[in-house]
Protein backbone atom coordinates (compact mmCIF):
# COMPACT_ATOMS: atom_id res chain seq x y z
CA UNK A 1 0.00 0.00 0.00
CA UNK A 2 3.04 2.24 0.27
CA UNK A 3 3.01 2.97 -3.45
CA UNK A 4 -0.61 4.07 -3.19
CA UNK A 5 0.28 6.63 -0.53
CA UNK A 6 3.63 7.98 -1.68
CA UNK A 7 3.03 11.01 -3.91
CA UNK A 8 3.12 14.82 -4.47
CA UNK A 9 3.23 17.59 -7.00
CA UNK A 10 3.50 21.15 -5.86
CA UNK A 11 5.22 24.27 -7.00
CA UNK A 12 7.72 24.96 -4.23
CA UNK A 13 10.16 27.81 -4.55
CA UNK A 14 13.34 26.51 -2.86
CA UNK A 15 14.28 30.10 -2.07
CA UNK A 16 10.99 30.69 -0.23
CA UNK A 17 12.25 29.13 2.98
CA UNK A 18 11.76 31.54 5.86
CA UNK A 19 14.47 32.25 8.42
CA UNK A 20 11.74 33.55 10.78
CA UNK A 21 9.89 30.28 11.26
CA UNK A 22 8.17 29.57 14.55
CA UNK A 23 10.78 27.73 16.69
CA UNK A 24 8.11 25.30 17.89
CA UNK A 25 7.35 24.32 14.31
CA UNK A 26 11.05 23.79 13.60
CA UNK A 27 11.37 21.69 16.73
CA UNK A 28 8.46 19.53 15.56
CA UNK A 29 9.96 19.17 12.08
CA UNK A 30 13.26 18.01 13.55
CA UNK A 31 11.49 15.57 15.91
CA UNK A 32 9.74 13.99 12.92
CA UNK A 33 13.08 13.60 11.12
CA UNK A 34 14.72 11.97 14.15
CA UNK A 35 11.75 9.73 14.83
CA UNK A 36 11.44 8.27 11.33
CA UNK A 37 15.22 8.04 10.98
CA UNK A 38 15.47 6.05 14.21
CA UNK A 39 12.75 3.62 13.13
CA UNK A 40 9.90 5.00 15.26
CA UNK A 41 6.62 5.27 13.36
CA UNK A 42 5.27 7.54 16.10
CA UNK A 43 7.93 10.02 15.06
CA UNK A 44 5.28 11.19 12.61
CA UNK A 45 2.05 9.47 13.63
CA UNK A 46 1.91 10.89 17.15
CA UNK A 47 2.13 14.41 15.73
CA UNK A 48 -0.57 14.07 13.07
CA UNK A 49 -3.84 15.94 13.61
CA UNK A 50 -5.93 12.83 13.01
CA UNK A 51 -9.21 14.62 13.72
CA UNK A 52 -8.56 17.17 10.97
CA UNK A 53 -7.61 14.45 8.49
CA UNK A 54 -10.67 12.40 9.43
CA UNK A 55 -12.96 15.40 8.96
CA UNK A 56 -11.60 16.08 5.47
CA UNK A 57 -11.94 12.40 4.59
CA UNK A 58 -15.71 12.14 5.13
CA UNK A 59 -16.75 15.69 4.27
CA UNK A 60 -19.84 15.93 1.99
CA UNK A 61 -20.09 12.16 1.46
CA UNK A 62 -23.42 10.65 2.45
CA UNK A 63 -23.10 7.26 4.11
CA UNK A 64 -24.81 5.16 6.79
CA UNK A 65 -23.78 6.47 10.19
CA UNK A 66 -22.51 3.05 11.26
CA UNK A 67 -20.16 2.84 8.29
CA UNK A 68 -19.04 6.45 8.66
CA UNK A 69 -18.30 6.15 12.36
CA UNK A 70 -16.58 2.82 11.88
CA UNK A 71 -14.27 4.29 9.26
CA UNK A 72 -13.54 7.36 11.40
CA UNK A 73 -12.74 5.11 14.36
CA UNK A 74 -10.31 3.19 12.18
CA UNK A 75 -8.62 6.43 11.10
CA UNK A 76 -8.40 7.69 14.67
CA UNK A 77 -7.05 4.39 15.96
CA UNK A 78 -4.66 4.12 12.98
CA UNK A 79 -5.82 0.64 12.11
CA UNK A 80 -3.66 -0.93 9.42
CA UNK A 81 -0.19 0.26 8.40
CA UNK A 82 0.17 3.92 9.42
CA UNK A 83 1.92 6.47 7.23
CA UNK A 84 4.73 6.65 9.79
CA UNK A 85 5.14 2.86 9.76
CA UNK A 86 5.27 2.89 5.97
CA UNK A 87 8.01 5.52 5.97
CA UNK A 88 10.01 3.55 8.53
CA UNK A 89 9.62 0.38 6.46
CA UNK A 90 10.66 2.29 3.34
CA UNK A 91 14.06 3.29 4.70
CA UNK A 92 14.99 -0.09 6.13
CA UNK A 93 18.21 -1.49 4.73
CA UNK A 94 20.14 1.75 4.44
CA UNK A 95 17.54 4.30 3.34
CA UNK A 96 17.38 7.84 4.70
CA UNK A 97 14.74 10.38 5.69
CA UNK A 98 16.09 13.93 5.87
CA UNK A 99 14.57 17.32 6.64
CA UNK A 100 15.57 19.69 3.84
CA UNK A 101 13.94 22.90 4.99
CA UNK A 102 10.97 24.71 6.46
CA UNK A 103 9.12 26.87 3.96
CA UNK A 104 5.66 28.22 3.20
CA UNK A 105 3.14 27.46 0.48
CA UNK A 106 0.37 30.04 0.16
CA UNK A 107 1.30 31.30 3.62
CA UNK A 108 1.05 27.86 5.27
CA UNK A 109 4.17 26.54 7.04
CA UNK A 110 5.50 23.24 5.75
CA UNK A 111 8.48 20.98 6.34
CA UNK A 112 10.01 19.37 3.25
CA UNK A 113 11.68 15.97 3.65
CA UNK A 114 13.65 13.75 1.28
CA UNK A 115 13.33 9.98 1.47
CA UNK A 116 15.81 7.72 -0.32
CA UNK A 117 15.02 4.00 -0.34
CA UNK A 118 15.42 0.93 -2.51
CA UNK A 119 12.39 2.19 -4.45
CA UNK A 120 14.20 5.44 -5.31
CA UNK A 121 13.72 9.02 -4.19
CA UNK A 122 10.57 10.69 -2.91
CA UNK A 123 9.67 13.93 -1.14
CA UNK A 124 7.15 14.65 1.62
CA UNK A 125 5.85 18.12 2.43
CA UNK A 126 4.37 18.03 5.94
CA UNK A 127 1.77 20.72 6.67
CA UNK A 128 2.50 22.35 10.02
CA UNK A 129 0.19 24.21 12.36
CA UNK A 130 -0.99 24.63 15.95
CA UNK A 131 -3.75 22.82 17.80
CA UNK A 132 -6.35 24.46 20.06
CA UNK A 133 -3.83 24.57 22.91
CA UNK A 134 -1.15 26.21 20.77
CA UNK A 135 1.02 23.09 20.45
CA UNK A 136 2.79 22.42 17.14
CA UNK A 137 1.13 19.70 15.08
CA UNK A 138 1.22 18.16 11.59
CA UNK A 139 -2.12 18.69 9.87
CA UNK A 140 -1.48 16.72 6.65
CA UNK A 141 1.34 15.79 4.30
CA UNK A 142 1.79 16.12 0.57
CA UNK A 143 3.50 13.14 -1.05
CA UNK A 144 5.31 13.88 -4.28
CA UNK A 145 5.20 10.43 -5.83
CA UNK A 146 1.41 10.24 -5.66
CA UNK A 147 0.80 13.91 -6.37
CA UNK A 148 -1.71 14.54 -3.60
CA UNK A 149 -2.18 15.05 0.13
CA UNK A 150 -2.36 12.03 2.42
CA UNK A 151 -5.92 13.03 3.39
CA UNK A 152 -6.96 12.94 -0.30
CA UNK A 153 -5.66 9.37 -0.61
CA UNK A 154 -7.57 8.33 2.52
CA UNK A 155 -10.70 10.07 1.22
CA UNK A 156 -10.55 8.09 -2.04
CA UNK A 157 -10.34 4.85 -0.08
CA UNK A 158 -13.36 5.95 1.94
CA UNK A 159 -15.40 6.77 -1.17
CA UNK A 160 -14.62 3.33 -2.62
CA UNK A 161 -15.53 1.61 0.65
CA UNK A 162 -18.82 3.45 0.95
CA UNK A 163 -19.73 2.83 -2.68
CA UNK A 164 -19.02 -0.90 -2.40
CA UNK A 165 -21.14 -1.30 0.73
CA UNK A 166 -23.84 1.25 -0.08
CA UNK A 167 -24.79 1.07 -3.75
CA UNK A 168 -27.12 4.03 -3.46
CA UNK A 169 -24.16 6.36 -3.10
CA UNK A 170 -22.99 5.61 -6.63
CA UNK A 171 -26.26 6.90 -8.04
CA UNK A 172 -25.91 10.12 -6.05
CA UNK A 173 -22.38 10.83 -7.18
CA UNK A 174 -21.87 12.98 -10.22
CA UNK A 175 -19.74 12.68 -13.35
CA UNK A 176 -16.12 11.72 -12.88
CA UNK A 177 -16.50 10.63 -9.25
CA UNK A 178 -19.29 8.23 -10.22
CA UNK A 179 -17.22 6.85 -13.09
CA UNK A 180 -14.26 6.39 -10.78
CA UNK A 181 -16.32 4.25 -8.39
CA UNK A 182 -17.76 2.15 -11.21
CA UNK A 183 -14.25 1.51 -12.54
CA UNK A 184 -12.64 0.87 -9.14
CA UNK A 185 -12.38 -2.90 -9.83
CA UNK A 186 -10.46 -2.10 -13.01
CA UNK A 187 -8.08 0.10 -11.00
CA UNK A 188 -7.39 -2.76 -8.61
CA UNK A 189 -6.83 -5.17 -11.51
CA UNK A 190 -4.40 -2.74 -13.13
CA UNK A 191 -2.50 -2.50 -9.85
CA UNK A 192 -2.31 -6.30 -9.62
CA UNK A 193 -1.20 -6.60 -13.25
CA UNK A 194 1.51 -4.02 -12.69
CA UNK A 195 2.81 -5.97 -9.70
CA UNK A 196 2.77 -9.12 -11.87
CA UNK A 197 4.68 -7.26 -14.61
CA UNK A 198 1.79 -7.65 -17.05
CA UNK A 199 2.59 -4.29 -18.58
CA UNK A 200 0.67 -4.69 -21.84
CA UNK A 201 -2.47 -5.64 -19.92
CA UNK A 202 -2.21 -2.48 -17.81
CA UNK A 203 -1.92 -0.24 -20.85
CA UNK A 204 -4.71 -2.08 -22.67
CA UNK A 205 -7.02 -1.67 -19.66
CA UNK A 206 -6.22 2.05 -19.50
CA UNK A 207 -7.36 2.48 -23.09
CA UNK A 208 -10.80 1.05 -22.25
CA UNK A 209 -11.48 3.65 -19.55
CA UNK A 210 -13.97 6.49 -20.03
CA UNK A 211 -12.25 9.66 -21.34
CA UNK A 212 -12.61 11.45 -18.00
CA UNK A 213 -10.74 8.69 -16.17
CA UNK A 214 -7.97 8.72 -18.75
CA UNK A 215 -7.16 12.09 -17.19
CA UNK A 216 -7.36 10.81 -13.61
CA UNK A 217 -4.07 10.70 -11.71
CA UNK A 218 -4.27 7.16 -10.34
CA UNK A 219 -4.90 5.61 -13.75
CA UNK A 220 -2.32 7.81 -15.50
CA UNK A 221 0.36 6.83 -12.99
CA UNK A 222 -0.33 3.11 -13.45
CA UNK A 223 -0.26 3.46 -17.21
CA UNK A 224 3.02 5.42 -17.08
CA UNK A 225 4.74 2.84 -14.87
CA UNK A 226 3.66 0.04 -17.18
CA UNK A 227 4.52 1.90 -20.39
CA UNK A 228 8.06 2.55 -19.16
CA UNK A 229 8.72 -1.15 -19.84
CA UNK A 230 7.11 -1.14 -23.29
CA UNK A 231 8.05 0.37 -26.64
CA UNK A 232 9.31 3.94 -26.74
CA UNK A 233 6.28 5.35 -28.58
CA UNK A 234 3.90 4.03 -25.90
CA UNK A 235 6.08 5.43 -23.11
CA UNK A 236 6.40 8.84 -24.75
CA UNK A 237 2.64 9.00 -25.29
CA UNK A 238 2.02 8.16 -21.62
CA UNK A 239 4.26 11.05 -20.58
CA UNK A 240 2.58 13.46 -23.00
CA UNK A 241 -0.90 12.54 -21.78
CA UNK A 242 0.12 12.89 -18.13
CA UNK A 243 1.71 16.28 -18.79
CA UNK A 244 -1.41 17.44 -20.63
CA UNK A 245 -3.67 16.37 -17.75
CA UNK A 246 -1.38 17.71 -14.98
CA UNK A 247 0.93 20.37 -16.41
CA UNK A 248 4.18 20.68 -14.45
CA UNK A 249 3.27 17.91 -12.01
CA UNK A 250 6.25 16.87 -9.88
CA UNK A 251 5.02 13.28 -9.60
CA UNK A 252 5.46 12.95 -13.37
CA UNK A 253 9.10 13.93 -13.03
CA UNK A 254 9.72 11.41 -10.25
CA UNK A 255 7.96 8.66 -12.19
CA UNK A 256 9.68 9.30 -15.53
CA UNK A 257 13.37 9.70 -14.57
CA UNK A 258 14.11 5.97 -14.47
CA UNK A 259 12.26 5.35 -17.71
CA UNK A 260 14.34 7.96 -19.52
CA UNK A 261 17.54 6.42 -18.19
CA UNK A 262 16.52 2.89 -19.19
CA UNK A 263 15.86 4.18 -22.71
CA UNK A 264 19.19 6.02 -22.74
CA UNK A 265 17.31 9.32 -23.10
CA UNK A 266 19.93 11.05 -20.98
CA UNK A 267 19.15 14.63 -22.00
CA UNK A 268 15.48 14.06 -21.16
CA UNK A 269 16.46 12.51 -17.82
CA UNK A 270 18.65 15.50 -16.95
CA UNK A 271 15.93 17.96 -17.96
CA UNK A 272 13.48 16.07 -15.73
CA UNK A 273 15.89 16.30 -12.78
CA UNK A 274 16.33 20.02 -13.45
CA UNK A 275 12.57 20.59 -13.26
CA UNK A 276 12.35 18.64 -10.04
CA UNK A 277 15.27 20.56 -8.56
CA UNK A 278 13.52 23.87 -9.17
CA UNK A 279 10.80 22.65 -6.83
CA UNK A 280 12.83 21.04 -4.06
CA UNK A 281 16.32 22.60 -4.24
CA UNK A 282 17.91 19.34 -3.11
CA UNK A 283 21.71 18.71 -3.24
CA UNK A 284 21.01 14.97 -3.64
CA UNK A 285 19.86 15.70 -7.18
CA UNK A 286 23.46 16.60 -8.07
CA UNK A 287 24.32 13.01 -7.18
CA UNK A 288 21.48 11.83 -9.41
CA UNK A 289 22.74 14.02 -12.26
CA UNK A 290 26.19 12.53 -11.80
CA UNK A 291 24.81 9.01 -12.17
CA UNK A 292 22.95 9.96 -15.33
CA UNK A 293 26.11 11.51 -16.80
CA UNK A 294 28.08 8.36 -15.93
CA UNK A 295 25.48 6.28 -17.79
CA UNK A 296 25.90 8.66 -20.72
CA UNK A 297 29.68 8.13 -20.72
CA UNK A 298 30.47 11.68 -19.57
CA UNK A 299 32.73 10.73 -16.69
CA UNK A 300 34.44 14.07 -16.04
CA UNK A 301 31.13 15.94 -16.04
CA UNK A 302 29.77 13.29 -13.68
CA UNK A 303 32.67 13.76 -11.28
CA UNK A 304 31.96 17.49 -11.18
CA UNK A 305 28.35 16.83 -10.17
CA UNK A 306 29.41 14.42 -7.41
CA UNK A 307 31.81 17.03 -6.06
CA UNK A 308 29.07 19.66 -6.19
CA UNK A 309 26.85 17.32 -4.19
CA UNK A 310 29.54 16.84 -1.55
CA UNK A 311 30.13 20.56 -1.33
CA UNK A 312 26.45 21.22 -0.71
CA UNK A 313 25.76 18.26 1.61
CA UNK A 314 29.04 16.83 3.00
CA UNK A 315 27.28 14.22 5.14
CA UNK A 316 25.74 12.44 2.12
CA UNK A 317 27.81 9.28 1.65
CA UNK A 318 26.75 8.18 -1.85
CA UNK A 319 28.84 10.58 -3.97
CA UNK A 320 32.00 9.76 -2.01
CA UNK A 321 31.63 6.05 -2.79
CA UNK A 322 31.21 6.70 -6.51
CA UNK A 323 34.31 8.90 -6.59
CA UNK A 324 36.25 6.27 -4.63
CA UNK A 325 35.14 3.59 -7.08
CA UNK A 326 36.12 5.69 -10.09
CA UNK A 327 39.54 6.47 -8.62
CA UNK A 328 40.19 2.77 -7.99
CA UNK A 329 39.18 1.93 -11.55
CA UNK A 330 41.51 4.63 -12.88
CA UNK A 331 44.28 3.62 -10.44
CA UNK A 332 44.37 7.23 -9.31
CA UNK A 333 45.31 6.26 -5.79
CA UNK A 334 46.01 9.77 -4.59
CA UNK A 335 42.36 10.52 -5.28
CA UNK A 336 41.37 7.25 -3.60
CA UNK A 337 43.15 8.32 -0.43
CA UNK A 338 41.62 11.79 -0.60
CA UNK A 339 38.04 10.53 -0.95
CA UNK A 340 38.49 7.81 1.67
CA UNK A 341 39.56 10.48 4.13
CA UNK A 342 36.66 12.66 3.05
CA UNK A 343 34.04 9.95 3.52
CA UNK A 344 35.37 9.34 7.02
CA UNK A 345 35.55 12.95 8.11
CA UNK A 346 32.67 14.38 6.09
CA UNK A 347 30.06 11.61 6.11
CA UNK A 348 31.22 10.03 9.37
CA UNK A 349 31.69 6.57 7.85
CA UNK A 350 33.84 4.15 9.86
CA UNK A 351 36.07 2.23 7.44
CA UNK A 352 37.13 -1.34 8.06
CA UNK A 353 40.19 -3.30 6.93
CA UNK A 354 40.70 -2.38 3.28
CA UNK A 355 43.16 -5.23 2.76
CA UNK A 356 40.17 -7.56 2.92
CA UNK A 357 37.83 -5.42 0.82
CA UNK A 358 37.03 -6.27 -2.80
CA UNK A 359 38.49 -3.91 -5.37
CA UNK A 360 41.15 -2.33 -3.14
CA UNK A 361 44.08 -4.71 -3.86
CA UNK A 362 45.91 -2.26 -6.11
CA UNK A 363 45.43 0.59 -3.67
CA UNK A 364 46.68 -1.32 -0.63
CA UNK A 365 49.92 -2.12 -2.48
CA UNK A 366 50.54 1.54 -3.25
CA UNK A 367 52.55 4.12 -1.30
CA UNK A 368 49.39 6.26 -1.16
CA UNK A 369 47.76 3.55 0.91
CA UNK A 370 50.61 3.46 3.43
CA UNK A 371 50.38 7.21 3.91
CA UNK A 372 46.60 7.13 4.15
CA UNK A 373 46.66 4.19 6.60
CA UNK A 374 49.01 6.03 8.92
CA UNK A 375 46.75 9.09 8.96
CA UNK A 376 43.64 6.92 9.30
CA UNK A 377 45.05 5.11 12.34
CA UNK A 378 46.01 8.41 13.88
CA UNK A 379 42.46 9.75 13.49
CA UNK A 380 41.00 6.54 14.88
CA UNK A 381 43.20 6.81 17.98
CA UNK A 382 42.06 10.35 18.78
According to the model, what pLDDT value does residue 119 have?
79
According to the model, what pLDDT value does residue 177 have?
60
Average pLDDT (291-300) is 97
pLDDT digits (tens, 9 = 90+) for 154-208: 887 777 777 666 655 555 555 556 677 777 788 889 999 999 999 999 999 999 9
Average pLDDT taken over every residue of the chain: 86
> In whole angstroms, what is the distance from residue 163 CA to residue 182 CA?
9
Whether the pLDDT of residue 19 is over 70: the answer is no
pLDDT digits (tens, 9 = 90+) for 319-365: 999 999 999 999 999 999 999 999 999 999 999 999 999 999 999 99
According to the model, what pLDDT value does residue 81 have?
56
Whether the pLDDT of residue 147 is over 80: the answer is yes
pLDDT digits (tens, 9 = 90+) for 47-89: 988 888 888 887 777 777 777 777 777 777 665 558 888 899 9
Instruction: Check if the beta carbon of residue 333 is closer than 8 Å to that of residue 361.
Output: no
Instruction: Provide the sign of the torsion angle of the four alpha carbons 186, 189, 195, 201, taken in this order.
Output: negative
Whether the pLDDT of residue 23 is over 50: the answer is yes
Amino acid sequence: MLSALLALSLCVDPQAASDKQDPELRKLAEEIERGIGSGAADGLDSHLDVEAIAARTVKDIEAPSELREGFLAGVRQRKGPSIGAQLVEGIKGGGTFKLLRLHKVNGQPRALYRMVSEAGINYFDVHLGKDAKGAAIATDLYIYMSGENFSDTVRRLYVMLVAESHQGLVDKLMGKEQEFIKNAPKLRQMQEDLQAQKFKEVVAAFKTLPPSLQRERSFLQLRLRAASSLEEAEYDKSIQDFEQAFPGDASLDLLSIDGHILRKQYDAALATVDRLDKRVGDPYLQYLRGNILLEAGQQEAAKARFKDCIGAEPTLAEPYWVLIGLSLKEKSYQDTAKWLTAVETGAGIALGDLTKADGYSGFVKSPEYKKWKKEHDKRAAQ
